[in-house]
Chains A and B, each alone.
Chain A
C-alpha cells in the first residue's frame, strides 16, 4: 500500500497549505506598499451645460405648436430656430407606472430612466423621492475632477422636495458625487446657521437653534444637516446676503429668483453643469389661465437673460450648451372650460419637446423623429464626454454633429 510522503508529523498537503499561508502573510505588506491608486480624474474641458427644466408642466399648444402665437418666442424662434436643434416630438412613455408630474419628470430627465416613484414614507400625496439611479451630477463628478459647487441644482421656492434630488443611493455613486443646491431654502439655512453662530452665549441662542433645527428637518435626505457645506457656497451666500438682505422679500421672486441665482452662480461659482428647475406655469392649478401663459413668457425671458449672460461671460461664451425640456405636459381636456389646469396623464400631458443649442449642436436643425424624455440624459452625457451606465434612454444621434 502506498503511503503519503511526510515531513515528520506533517503530510505534504498540510505543508503546502501552511507554506502558502505564510508566504501570503509575508507578501501582503509588500503588496500594500505597491498598491496601485485609482487613475486620477481628468479635469473637465468639455462644454458647460445648462439643463433647463421648463416646468411645471407646459403644453405644446402654448409653446411650440403655433409659432405665431407662442408664449416663448425666444426659445422657439431664436434658440431653436437660429442657434440650436429643435425636437418637437419628445414624449413621456405611456404606462400606469409613469406619472406625468414634476418630481417624476425631473428625475426622469436626471437619471435617463423611467422608474416608479413612491414617497419615502408612503405618505398620501407625498412626493419625497430618492433617485433610484445615479443622476447626471453623479456621473459627471465620478468621471471628472469637479468640485461639488461646480455642479449645481437651482430650485425654486415652492417645490422644496425637488432640491433633494442631488444624489442617489446607488453603490459606487451617491453622496460623495452629489451636486450642490442653490435655493431660497438653502439661503435661509445659511442665515439660520449664521444667526445661531451670532447668538451663541446669549438669550437668543435657544430660539436660533430651534429655528435652524426646524429648517434642517425639511431636508428628508439629511434631516440633521450632517452633510458639510463648502467654503465656496458660504461665500456665495455671504455676497447674496450683502446684496439682498435677510428678509427674502427684496430679491426677485418666483422663476426670476432662480434665474438670478444662476447668473450670480456663473460669476462666483463657475459651475460646469447646472440644472434650473423652473416651475411657475404650475400655478394654473389654481385656475386663472393668465398665470400659466404669463409664467411661460417669464421663463422665456429668463432663458433669454441666461443666454445673454453666457454670451457676456468669457468663460461661458460659445462654450455653453443649453438643453431645454419640460418635466411634463398638461391636459387638453375639452370637457372643461380651462382644459390645461392639471396634468393627469392624458395624451397631451405626455407630449413635450426639447431644444438643444451650443457647441457641437447643429444650428437651425429640426428632428421630427419621436424621442423619449429619458433620451436627454445619455445625449448630454455624450456631449460632455462621460458614459451613463444605468440609463434606459438612448443618445439622440442628430444632436451631436
Chain B
C-alpha cells in the first residue's frame, strides 16, 4: 500500500514537473527527451509481458525507469561508483545528480532533429500556404490565389501521410536507441500495416488528445472579453492573474502528449509482435532489438527478407473485411483531417508566428507555444 501511494506521489511529481517544463522551449526539449526515454521503458515492459505470455518460464527483468534529473537506478549506480573509487566519488555523485537531465537533453535533441526532418517540410508547406494565401488577399493578387491554396493542400496531404509515421518513428528511435531509426520509413509502414485497425485508433487518440489543446491554446483570446476589469490591471498584475492558466495548459499538454506517446508505444509493441510471429521482421531490426535486450521469441526460426509493399497490401486485403478496409481508408484520413482542421482553427483564433504551424506539440517540441511571458 505504501509503495502504491509512493508511486502515485512520484507520478504526480513527475507530471507537475513535466507540465512546468512544457511552458518553455528549452525545458520542453528535456520533456521530449524524458518522454522518449520513458517510451523505451514502457516498450520494454510491454514487450516482456508479451514475451512472457508465449514463454511462461521467462521472467520479466527489472527495467530502469528514466528520471527527470537523476540518473536511472540512482542508488545502485552511486553504490557502484563508491566501490569503484572513493576519491573520485564526489565527481561521480555530481554527475549522477544530473545524468538524467543530460540524457533527456540528448534524447530530446535526437528526437526533435529527426522528427523535424520528417514532418517540417509538410508543416512548412502549410505555413507558406497560409502566409501566401493571406498575403495574397491583402494585396489582392487574386490571379495568384491558387498558389497558396495548392501549397496548403500539398502540406496537408504530406502531414496526413507523415504524422502517423512520425509518431511511430519517435518510438522506434527510442526503442532502438539510434538516431537513424526514425528514418526507417519502410519498416514503419510495414509495422503500421500489420494491424490496419490500429491506424484508426492512433488517429482517434491523436484527435482526442489534441482537441483540449486547441481549446486551451485559443482560450486566452477571450480573457478580456470574459473579464473586462482585467483591462485596468498593470502588466505585472495581469501576468499574475493569467500565469496559473498557462501552468494548467502546460500540464494538460504534458498529459496529452504522454497519452499519445503511450498509445504509440502500445501500437508499436503489438504490431512488432505480430510482425515477429509472422516472420516479417528483418535481420537488421531483429539484431537491433536484441542489442537493447529485447528478446525475440523463437516461434519463427527462419529469417525472411522484408515483404514488398504490394505483397503486404495483398495479404492485408485478403485477411481484412471489406467494411474494415473502407473504414480504414475513409475514417482514418478523416480523423487526421479533423486534427489538421484544429491546427488551422487555433492559428486563426490565436495566431502565433511561424511556430504555430511549424511546431506541432505532439510531433515535435511539446511546448505550449509563445506566451506573453
B372 near A254 with CB under 8 A, answer: no
- B window 39-82: CB within 8 A of A: none
Q: Is A338 on the interface with B (CB-CB < 8 A)?
A: yes
A347 near B228 with CB under 8 A, answer: yes
B222 near A291 with CB under 8 A, answer: no
- C-alpha gap A280/B143 in the complex (Å): 18
Contacts of A295 in B (CB 8 A): 138
A283 near B134 with CB under 8 A, answer: yes
A346 near B228 with CB under 8 A, answer: yes
B225 near A335 with CB under 8 A, answer: no
- A window 210-249: CB within 8 A of B: 247-249
Q: Is A158 on the interface with B (CB-CB < 8 A)?
A: yes
- C-alpha gap A336/B372 in the complex (Å): 6
Contact stretch, chosen from A104-112, A326-334, A374-382: A326-334
Q: Is A288 on the interface with B (CB-CB < 8 A)?
A: yes
Q: Is B8 on the interface with A (CB-CB < 8 A)?
A: no
Contacts of A280 in B (CB 8 A): 138
Nearest chain A CB to B203's CB is how many angstroms away? 27
Nearest chain B CB to A284's CB is how many angstroms away? 8
CB within 8 A of B137: which of A286, A334, A337? A286
Mask: chain B, 196-222; 1 = CB below 8 Å from A; 0 = not: 000000000000000000000000111
A interface residue count range (under 10 / 10 to 19 / 20 to 34 / 35 or more): 20 to 34
A249 near B142 with CB under 8 A, answer: yes
Contact stretch, chosen from B167-175, B262-270, B348-356: B348-356
Given known A-B contacts A249-B142, A347-B231, A287 and B347 have beta carbons under 8 A apart: yes
Nearest chain B CB to A295's CB is how many angstroms away? 7
Q: Is A344 on the interface with B (CB-CB < 8 A)?
A: yes
Q: Is A306 on the interface with B (CB-CB < 8 A)?
A: no
B141 near A253 with CB under 8 A, answer: yes
Q: Is B7 on the interface with A (CB-CB < 8 A)?
A: no
Contacts of B351 in A (CB 8 A): 286-288, 337-338, 341
Contacts of B353 in A (CB 8 A): 287, 337
Mask: chain A, 280-299; 1 = CB below 8 Å from B; 0 = not: 10010111100100010000
Q: Please, which residue of chain B has its CB at the minimum distance from the CB of A184?
A: B140
B370 near A337 with CB under 8 A, answer: yes
Mask: chain A, 343-384; 1 = CB below 8 Å from B; 0 = not: 011111000000000000000000000000000000000000
- C-alpha gap A324/B232 in the complex (Å): 28
Mask: chain B, 7-25; 1 = CB below 8 Å from A; 0 = not: 0000000000000000000
Given known A-B contacts A254-B138, A285-B348, A346-B228, A335 and B223 have beta carbons under 8 A apart: yes
Q: Is A269 on the interface with B (CB-CB < 8 A)?
A: no
Contacts of B140 in A (CB 8 A): 157, 253-254, 257
B231 near A348 with CB under 8 A, answer: yes
Q: Is A102 on the interface with B (CB-CB < 8 A)?
A: no
- C-alpha gap A341/B369 in the complex (Å): 17
Nearest chain B CB to A126's CB is how many angstroms away? 19
- C-alpha gap A186/B347 in the complex (Å): 34
- C-alpha gap A345/B353 in the complex (Å): 24
CB within 8 A of A253: which of B139, B228, B239, B372? B139
Q: Is B84 on the interface with A (CB-CB < 8 A)?
A: no
- A window 300-343: CB within 8 A of B: 331-339, 341-342
Contacts of A344 in B (CB 8 A): 221-222, 224-225
B interface residue count range (under 10 / 10 to 19 / 20 to 34 / 35 or more): 35 or more
Q: Which of A157, A334, A335 has the most CB of B within 10 A?
A: A335
Q: Please, which residue of chain A has its CB at the minimum distance from the CB of B134?
A: A286
Given known A-B contacts A253-B140, A286-B134, A331 and B348 have beta carbons under 8 A apart: no
Nearest chain A CB to B361's CB is how many angstroms away? 15
CB within 8 A of B220: which of A249, A257, A336, A348? A336
Nearest chain A CB to B209's CB is how many angstroms away? 23
- C-alpha gap A279/B10 in the complex (Å): 55
Q: Is B130 on the interface with A (CB-CB < 8 A)?
A: yes
A288 near B134 with CB under 8 A, answer: yes
- B window 218-272: CB within 8 A of A: 220-225, 228, 231-232, 235, 238-239, 242, 245
Q: Please, which residue of chain A has its CB at the minimum distance from the CB of B137?
A: A283
Contacts of A257 in B (CB 8 A): 140
- C-alpha gap A335/B352 in the complex (Å): 12
Contacts of B347 in A (CB 8 A): 287
A333 near B221 with CB under 8 A, answer: yes
- A window 135-159: CB within 8 A of B: 157-158
A345 near B225 with CB under 8 A, answer: yes
Contacts of A249 in B (CB 8 A): 141-143
Q: Please, which residue of chain A has its CB at the minimum distance from the CB of B224?
A: A346
Nearest chain B CB to A397's CB is how many angstroms away? 30
Q: Is B278 on the interface with A (CB-CB < 8 A)?
A: no
- B window 313-352: CB within 8 A of A: 347-352
B235 near A334 with CB under 8 A, answer: yes
B371 near A331 with CB under 8 A, answer: no
B138 near A335 with CB under 8 A, answer: no
Contacts of B232 in A (CB 8 A): 347
CB within 8 A of B242: which of A287, A291, A335? A335
Q: Is B178 on the interface with A (CB-CB < 8 A)?
A: no
Q: Which residues from chain A sit less than 8 Å from chain B, CB to CB?
A: 94, 157-158, 247-249, 253-254, 257, 280, 283, 285-288, 291, 295, 331-339, 341-342, 344-348
Known contacts A254-B139, A287-B351, A348-B224, then 17 further A-B pairs from the complex at CB < 8 Å, ordered by chain A residue: A249-B141, A249-B143, A253-B140, A286-B351, A287-B130, A287-B352, A333-B223, A334-B238, A335-B220, A335-B245, A337-B351, A337-B352, A338-B351, A344-B221, A345-B225, A346-B225, A347-B228
Give the 7 A-B CB pairs with smallest separation, nearest first.
A287-B351, A253-B140, A335-B220, A286-B134, A347-B231, A346-B224, A337-B370
Q: 5 A-B pairs, CB-CB below 8 angstroms?
A: A254-B140, A287-B352, A288-B351, A337-B372, A346-B225
